[in-house]
Amino acid sequence: MKKITKNKSANFYLNAAAKFGIQYKILNEKKGRARIFDEKRTLNIKTNALLGINPRVGAKRSKNKVKTSSLLREENIPVPVFKAFRSFEKAVNYAQNELANERLIVVKPTNSSLSAGITVNPSSKKQIKKAIKEAFGKNSTIMIERYISGKHFRITIFDNEIIAITERMASNVTGNGKNTLLDLIKRKNTMRKKMNLPSILLRLKDMDYLKNQKIDLEKIYPKGVNVILQLGCDLDIGGERVKVDIKSVPQINLDLFICAVKKLGLRFGGIDYITPDITTPYTQITTAINEINSAPDSGVHYRDTHPGNNYAAERIVNKIFSKKIKISENLAIKTFSKPESQQIISSL
């Protein structure tokens, strides 16, 4: 992909525009601010590749995770059970009680902050306090959620259409019966470097996770044994991506995703969805929409299966500027019946 600005996210859209022969103007090369336009339409790319297509109210609403989960719950859209806290002591007590009742948790700030301040499955009082302290950071309110087991997916939606679905996997290596996990990580990082992908980065919280799971980096694991190295699945710390065929996803799930974005008043949104199997109707298993991003990065899909495929950004640009593609009319909010398997949401 051609480097047009210093912002990778902006470059996805600018390269898509160039492919379709659509004009663009760079307003700030360093920040990636630009304008894509023709005689009838304009797409503004703001700082950090934020597209100026979402209503301000919806964008602001989606940044608050408590408000987002509460609004989705009103429509019986599955979200993790959670409680919100402003008190460090109350948060610690609640987290310890959850663990005492053998419930795994996730600690996170309520504001939209990518993966910053998020800790998955702290399993001791020391780890809990550390996680809660990190989540509060510069935030006055944090959330503690029940952990939902399953695979992680990013679903990008624009004007009631599913643009792309990608599975986001945590960094991992597979034992070969000869090399230690550390050696396998080094080998994989060498391969990722050749593919221009970020290296696997084990942070302190990842080391805590490995310790909790009794995973020894100096150990040689049997051939074929896959070892998950992190609970987070961000690409910049070693995560992986696999493209999902939209046709393999049941219509009831696709309707759920579209409704969730619309409920927040967004035209453009990225859903973080957790499920054991995305090809199974959400009403039949325990699943959850973990978050909805009002400024989703199409780069999430750029690195899936075949690195270099810019199909997500191309679909968005084509949808906006193509005379052959009619932008969908707004759909009415659908009413969803609550899945029997879904836990009830609660908050302080």
Q: What is the CATH number of the domain that holds 267?
A: 3.30.470.20
Do 325 and 267 lie in one domain? The reply is yes
Give the model's pLDDT for residue 345. Answer: 35
Q: Establish if 347 belongs to a structural domain.
A: no
Q: Provide the pLDDT for residue 157.
A: 97
pTM: 0.84
Q: What is the pLDDT of residue 152?
A: 94
Q: Where in the sequence is the domain holding 189, given as residue range(s)?
A: 171-230
Find the DSSP H helices in the chain: 8-20, 56-62, 65-74, 88-100, 125-136, 181-194, 204-212, 251-263, 299-302, 311-321
Q: State the pLDDT at residue 323.
A: 53
In a domain, 319, yes or no: yes
Per-residue pLDDT, 114: 54
Domain membership of residue 68 (yes or no) is: yes
Question: Is residue 11 in a domain?
Answer: yes
89-115 pLDDT, tens per residue?
A: 999 999 999 999 999 999 998 875 556
Question: Residues 270, 199: one domain?
Answer: no
Give the number of other CB atoms < 10 A from CB of residue 134: 17
Taking a C-beta distance cutoff of 8 angstroms, is the pair 275, 248 a contact?
Answer: no
Same domain, 35 and 142: no
* Count of domains observed in the chain: 4
Verify that 161 and 264 share a domain, yes or no.
yes
Asked whether residue 187 falls in the same domain as residue 255, the answer is no
In this predicted structure, the answer to whether residue 336 has a pLDDT above a threshold of 50 is no
Q: Are residues 135 and 157 in the same domain?
A: no
Q: Name the residue with tokens 């659509």.
A: 22
Helix (H, G, I), strand (E, B) or coil at 114: coil
**Do residues 102 and 128 share a domain?**
yes
